[in-house]
Structure 1
Amino acid sequence: MSDLRISRRAALAGASAIMAWAASPARALLQAAELDVPASVDALIAKMTLEEKAGQLNLMAAAWSGGVATTLNPPSSGPSFDGQLGDAVAGKLTGVFNGNGAAMARRMQSAVMRESRLKIPLIFAADVIHGHRTIFPVPVGEAASFEPDLAERTARVAASEAAGAGIDWTFFPMVDVARDQRWGRTMEGAGEDVRLGELFAAARVRGFQGRDLKANDAMMACVKHFAAYGAAEGGLDYNTVDVSERTLREVYLPPYKAGFDAGALSAMASFNEISGVPAHGNPWLLDTLLRGEWGFKGFVVGDYTGDEEMIAHGFAKDSRDATRIAFLAGVDMSMQSNNYFLHLPALVRDGDVPEERLDRSVRRVLAVKHALGLFDDPFRRIDPKREKARTRTKANLAVSREAARKSIVLLKNDGDLLPLPRTGRKIAIIGPFAEGKHDLNGPWVVYGDNAQAVDLAEGVRAAAGTSNVTVTLGSKVEEPLPGGIEAAVAAANAADVVLLAIGESENMSGEAQSRTEIVVPAPQQALAEAVAKTGKPIVVVLKNGRGLALEGAVKDAPAILVTWFLGSESGNGIADVLFGAYSPSGRLPVSFPHDSGQSPYYYDHKATGRPAPNLTEPYRARYRTTTNTALYPFGHGLTYGVIEYRGLELPQSMGWDGTLTVSATVANTGKRAAEEVVQLYIRDRVGSVTRPVRELKAFRKIALAPGASEKVTFTLRRADLEFIGLELKPTVEPGTFDLWIAPSAQADGVHGTFDLVKA
């Protein structure tokens, strides 16, 4: 049990914090960053006891939840449903998360609105990460589409389904820039690039919140994890982050800012510390930056027991101390620890927390409940009939299939092995993911069911018939299967082509699933080597939630598809690409390194004073066995067309207050229609702060018929050339810039230079 006594040092620190807050010039600025609320909200706050106020800042996991939900968070000994219902009526909690649908929500809300003293509606939240009942590709896979509009549409579908089930609030989007593929939570975000991260963050917020947050098909978004969780040392979940403020502002913060600018009304504090200060106890991060500098008007929720975990960090003495620190730092609402309800009233009575601060956080929470329409109609999203009507409709599944095929990345297609003909060839599907209702939806799915998803064999048989398709597992995911390799070799020998379905299982990616070696597991690699020796053409169908280091027969296969975890329509989406119903258009949002030991690897690294263009020059910035490049870089992906870049049109200079219009012609000289993601990169050759070797500034996805070409034009402004300068503020300097219009971060495409000129 935590020691509830407070030390003299802690008491003095608390008193100092109160005085500092009262005297701070930031106080007025922060008070301005609040949602407008009706006078009735302040009148309600005036009636509340300290315990009722603390209850509005206390969020707990639903006691009545689905089986999946209980496995996604650390176990805790919570109350029974009847006990939680009593807590809700007594005003001890603001709402619950990951509950069991509209029926549960109706029982709880009915009890609160009928029996509680103040009749403050509950808020219902959930981890709706990449779908509710209809499941879409994992977010990093969806980012491979390079279509933010697609992400907005899938979020819209997810919001409609989830809101139909009584859910007001999702803990998404996760916008952490992930540059170390060992980190399991890579699968939750948009990958390694800042610009791509910004665009997908904003799109997902718009999709969930819709045009009217009070609509019964809209739900509040939560931008997480604030901040820089993706920079965890060693790619280890929950680990320390230590970055400069410049790197924080230039790399990690922009996607959060984009999400808040798009209208997100909640933020979630991250588990990590930043430069020695846990995010849950960081007033610079949560108040000075988020509210003061950015003007954020919503509320900040802690992550699951994140306030309590400051004790293990060595930042707080006990639960009471952790509560004081988190609350004064700017965490408005505590999740799952129950600390705010247990300790905030006493902290206020003892003078360690100003009641004005408590009232302000309560006002934020009530203002958001008002914005969600809960005070107007506490049951606006709670309708069991609507829940059923919106679930897994034909239209929703069609969007899932579209998202699945648009998320697939064709890494390699030697000899134009793909697309496969629908008839006339015997197909052997081999591998642990060849068939079966498992590992289809992907990690972080609370309400979806793998049993309802389409597996690879189903999709292939639907497209190519059943008579010419065989299925052989060959191995388990992380263990050999007795006799498996022998059976797989026999199946390969009897076929014309092999679909090798290998990669990661759902429990190898996601939260708490960091990996030291980002490779295909050894039993599957052995399977691949054995099948390759048959000499039959192999299409690797890779299942993964992160960038992988491919080896041996997997790396050498003539065709490789990155299929991530694609959700409800997995098998159909893959079959669409395999048989040419859809020409692959996905591009990598994360780099695939040559070797695990390169981690963290990302395309927009610095050149260093000793760049390594090849393996022949000694004393260069490279490992002994590889250059500082990727096997498959960010932005890479092939189509079934043949794409050429030519005809760069680039002015020699750009005026200080002007714009630069640049264009190139992109042609499809192949015999099949294609979609190409045309990418614009720059490099600032000389700066007062060293600049990356390339930075993505814009991209366009275009459709090209066989033999067609299109002139693709981009416009740059001076703001597009800014970086965080020596004064830790955005700046730009005259000078020479390299520019590429290219198909990836490592491809030349067409390349030229221009000068930014200051008059």
Structure 2
Amino acid sequence: MVAYHELDEIPAHVHPMLTPLLTRFITADDTGMAMLYKRHTVTASDADTMQQYLNADIVDLVANGTIPLHVLQERVHRVIGVKYDLGLFEDPFVSENTNSTALVEQHVPLTLEMAQKSLVLLENRNGTLPISLDSSGIKKIALVGPFADTLNYGGYSGPWGMGPNDRGISLRQGILSYLPDSVSLVSTWGAESWLYHSQYAVPAYAYTDLSGTPGGLTASYFADPSANFTSATPAFTTAPQTPNRDWGLYPPLGLSSNNFSVVWEGALTVPELGVPSVAGWLGAAVSPNISAEVFVNGSSVARSPATTVGNTLSNIESWVWVQDNATAAPPDGAEFEFESGRTYALRVELRVWNLAQKIENVNSVNAHVELWWNLAGREGDGVQQAVQAAEGADLIVLAVGANWNSDGESGDRATLSLSPNQTALADAMFDLGIPVVMVLQGGRPFAIAEYYEKSAAVLNAFFPGQSGGQAIADALFGTTNPGGRVPLSIPANEQQLPIDYNIKYTARAKNYTDVYSYAQYPFGYGLSYTTFTRAEFNASSASGSNTFSPGDTISFRADVTNTGTMAGSDVLQVYLLVRRSTIVRPQKQLVAFTRVYLDAGETRTVEMQLEVDRYLPIVDRAWKWVLEEGDYTFALLDHGGYDADTTTNVTMTCV
């Protein structure tokens, strides 16, 4: 897929150095081709856009034969080749007998494994983690922050990255799975995830269906959007199911039409908040041409009328919108007093009319609904409530960071701090003098050096997905050992940017005179609950133990030993160090890495491969790809930081 940007003033779609490198077919991101004409202004018309992209005019190609037919044949061959590899010529359609629900269930364990393996331990002072309830004497844990009890899947996972939520596990749920009755947990949000009042999907655990089964409500589906719910017979009933659904272009399974209606019934239970109640909002977010009504204890509390635009907040709102709506209630949200631990009778009615235009695009959703709540504090007293809830706790787990409302596509930031409301919350928590374990979520680095230094431990979870809450809890309590590494350097403050690890010498020939010059956590950095040693680092290729040639694959090997008392993983990273060349080279460049999992005391020989033709050629002064002859020094490092010890290295000669 070709990107939107340009390189040296030439858009990526028509760049003569980039597109020839792609050996399969090339596709443009949504509207990417149109941008050549409308944004980059390098083409004169739609036809000219296609001519530049294909380096040929398709119409003239067919009409007068002046362009060789192989121009089209080559591109068609690439597409057909991929379809052939996928087996689409033998079996082009998805079988009608495919059980999509069963397929999803099969992948649920993978979502947990992925989240567990992606966690990065940034700080762990005095062995704070993993939490030992037996030896620590902990009797009360305060879970505080906008990500304490919300879901955070990341981009393109429903509005706000919180859907589907029926299998989602919040951090509160994950922590509760480890606590005995003798240890209490209070959870309170204390702040919004961004600069305005948002719509947060109610987690599935808060629901109970009519039979008393947790995890959802009892759903009755009708084949008529105008059905009389009192007298009509439902087409089918299912439970438990959450009223957070996205049917896309198709009707619900079991119905033949996109015109339908649903009633969800059961109960909603508020978690233990650490305060008697929280003033918030409750409502239903819907897409266009849908109406919804929410009933609590038999009374209608929130209505979402059918409109041509719906009432679901955009994932990324503009700065101007935020200034105008920062204190406004979420669209069609009803003021609601959530009493700590109370259970309410709940009923949600939804009516869907099939009026949406159907196009192949992420925005062509025919029907979407999300029952949401907001417990951040309607009266602006969220921080005070969080302080009240956390007082007397033995440990604070501070769950802060970013949602897709600030870290999504086109969500550019001028700062890398927490949002101002979360900053106020964090300051209040650290001021209590209680040990704080900070759990970060979000899709970007956070330049919050002060909080890194104050925290007893810091765990970075990024966008952890539907099983993220369980994965984080598993790491907090030592069921798993975090071993991920940061995929980009985390700055100490925004003024340091750019803070790339693979810098040229002149980028840091002189340090700043007013701020720290290097990353807070460099590329490839990450801690573990255990320790490792490496030995016998060496390299060879088919050309010999000290040489390599074009077409070779270099094999790096090292012996790794887990010298600690807990099973864990080590990430071996091989960097090419700066060398004499016809062009200026980075001080170091990652060329190979692997992750190895070892039991306590275990030793293993680990091997990494480097394809010479893929990773070592450069673009020379004549703008040609070349593999330079001469010496190449490869170092085995812990990370890509300026202070990484490069003495463990091997030198090979390209001949």
- Whether TM-score is above 0.5 comes out as yes
Q: 1:472 to 1:316 in 2, by over 3 A?
A: same
Distance between the aligned counterparts of 1:317 and 1:611, measured in 2? 40
- Does 2:519 align with 1:630? yes
- Does 2:6 align with 1:308? no
1:322 is matched with 46
Q: 1:745 to 1:666 in 2, by over 3 A?
A: farther
1:459 is matched with 174
Distance between the aligned counterparts of 1:375 and 1:655, measured in 2? 45
Q: 1:748 to 1:474 in 2, by over 3 A?
A: same
2:463 is matched with 565
Q: Is contact 1:529–1:552 with CA below 8 Å preserved after alignment?
A: no
Q: 1:273 to 1:692 in 2, by over 3 A?
A: closer
Within 5 A, what are the aligned runs for 1:727-742?
Answer: 727=622, 728-735=624-631, 737=633, 739-742=635-638
Q: 1:673 to 1:636 in 2, by over 3 A?
A: same
SS in 1 for 2:572: strand
1:578 is matched with 476
Q: What's the TM-score, normalizing by structure 1? A: 0.54
Deviates more, 1:363-372 or 1:721-730: 363-372
Within 5 A, what are the aligned runs for 1:490-639?
Answer: 490-608=388-506, 611-612=508-509, 620-622=510-512, 624-627=514-517, 629-639=518-528
1:390 is matched with 102
SS in 2 for 1:737: strand
C-alpha RMSD over aligned residues: 3.7
Shift in Å, 1:721: 5.4
Q: 1:685 to 1:371 in 2, by over 3 A?
A: closer
Within 5 A, what are the aligned runs for 1:99-248?
Answer: 224=1, 226=2
Shift in Å, 1:517: 1.2
Shift in Å, 1:601: 2.2
Within 5 A, what are the aligned runs for 1:367-406?
Answer: 369=83, 372-378=86-92, 380-383=93-96, 385-393=97-105, 395-406=106-117
Shift in Å, 1:684: 3.1
Q: Is contact 1:525–1:553 with CA below 8 Å preserved after alignment?
A: no
Greater Rg, structure 1 or structure 2?
2
Q: Is contact 1:324–1:352 with CA below 8 Å preserved after alignment?
A: no
Q: Is contact 2:523–2:639 with CA below 8 Å preserved after alignment?
A: no
1:478 is matched with 194
1:276 is matched with 9
Q: C-alpha deviations, 1:211-257, integer Å up to 9, x for none?
A: xxxxxxxxxxxxx2x2xxxxxxxxxxxxxxxxxxxxxxxxxxxxxxx
Shift in Å, 1:374: 4.5
- Does 2:599 align with 1:705? yes
Q: Is contact 2:530–2:565 with CA below 8 Å preserved after alignment?
A: yes
SS in 1 for 2:520: strand
Shift in Å, 1:315: 2.8
Shift in Å, 1:496: 0.8
- Does 2:643 align with 1:643? no
Distance between the aligned counterparts of 2:58 and 2:111, measured in 1? 45
Aligned length in residues: 459
Shift in Å, 1:285: 4.2
Shift in Å, 1:356: 7.5
Q: 1:677 to 1:430 in 2, by over 3 A?
A: same
Distance between the aligned counterparts of 2:40 and 2:618, measured in 1? 35
AA aligned to 2:145 is G
**How much identity, in percent, do the aligned residues show?**
29
Deviates more, 1:347-356 or 1:485-494: 347-356
Distance between the aligned counterparts of 1:273 and 1:474, measured in 2? 42
Shift in Å, 1:471: 0.2
- Does 2:563 align with 1:673? no
Within 5 A, what are the aligned runs for 1:737-756?
Answer: 737=633, 739-743=635-639, 745-746=641-642, 748-749=644-645, 751-752=647-648, 754-756=650-652
Q: Is contact 1:698–1:714 with CA below 8 Å preserved after alignment?
A: yes
Q: 1:660 to 1:305 in 2, by over 3 A?
A: closer
AA aligned to 1:432 is P
- Does 2:121 align with 1:407? no
Q: C-alpha deviations, 1:377-403, integer Å up to 9, x for none?
A: 44x3152x414343421x311111111
Q: C-alpha deviations, 1:317-347, integer Å up to 9, x for none?
A: 66xx223322442399xxxxxxxxxx97699
1:187 is matched with none
- Does 2:616 align with 1:725? no
Q: Is contact 1:648–1:751 with CA below 8 Å preserved after alignment?
A: no
Distance between the aligned counterparts of 1:443 and 1:659, measured in 2? 37
Q: C-alpha deviations, 1:712-747, integer Å up to 9, x for none?
A: 566778767554433432323324736234355455
AA aligned to 2:118 is S
Shift in Å, 1:546: 2.0
Distance between the aligned counterparts of 1:671 and 1:398, measured in 2? 27
Given candidates 385, 398, 415, the residue that maps to 1:487 is 385
Q: 1:688 to 1:358 in 2, by over 3 A?
A: closer
Q: 1:310 to 1:409 in 2, by over 3 A?
A: same
Distance between the aligned counterparts of 1:304 and 1:331, measured in 2? 21
Deviates more, 1:749-758 or 1:699-708: 749-758
Shift in Å, 1:459: 1.0
Distance between the aligned counterparts of 1:277 and 1:304, measured in 2? 19
1:654 is matched with 546
Deviates more, 1:504-513 or 1:447-456: 447-456
Q: Is contact 2:547–2:654 with CA below 8 Å preserved after alignment?
A: yes
Distance between the aligned counterparts of 1:504 and 1:677, measured in 2? 27
SS in 2 for 1:450: coil
AA aligned to 1:272 is H
Q: 1:738 to 1:275 in 2, by over 3 A?
A: closer
AA aligned to 2:528 is T
Distance between the aligned counterparts of 1:374 and 1:650, measured in 2? 42
1:185 is matched with none
Distance between the aligned counterparts of 2:527 and 2:604, measured in 1? 18
Q: Is contact 2:492–2:516 with CA below 8 Å preserved after alignment?
A: yes
Q: 1:718 to 1:377 in 2, by over 3 A?
A: closer
Within 5 A, what are the aligned runs for 1:259-298?
Answer: 270-282=3-15, 285-286=18-19, 289-290=20-21, 296=23, 298=24
Q: 1:468 to 1:678 in 2, by over 3 A?
A: same
Distance between the aligned counterparts of 1:314 and 1:655, measured in 2? 46
Shift in Å, 1:590: 1.3
Distance between the aligned counterparts of 1:716 and 1:570, measured in 2? 33
Shift in Å, 1:304: 1.6
1:32 is matched with none
Q: Is contact 1:664–1:741 with CA below 8 Å preserved after alignment?
A: no
Shift in Å, 1:607: 1.5
Q: 1:710 to 1:317 in 2, by over 3 A?
A: closer
Distance between the aligned counterparts of 1:300 and 1:721, measured in 2? 24
Q: 1:551 to 1:317 in 2, by over 3 A?
A: same
Distance between the aligned counterparts of 2:441 and 2:563, measured in 1? 31
Structure with greater helix percent: 1
Q: Is contact 1:280–1:331 with CA below 8 Å preserved after alignment?
A: no
Which runs of 5 or more structure 2 residues have no equivalent in the other structure? 196-375
SS in 2 for 1:445: coil
Q: Is contact 1:400–1:569 with CA below 8 Å preserved after alignment?
A: yes
Which runs of 5 or more structure 1 residues have no equivalent in the other structure? 1-223, 227-269, 333-342, 613-619
Q: What's the TM-score, normalizing by structure 2? A: 0.62
Distance between the aligned counterparts of 2:620 and 2:69, measured in 1? 40
Q: Is contact 1:645–1:750 with CA below 8 Å preserved after alignment?
A: no
AA aligned to 2:172 is A
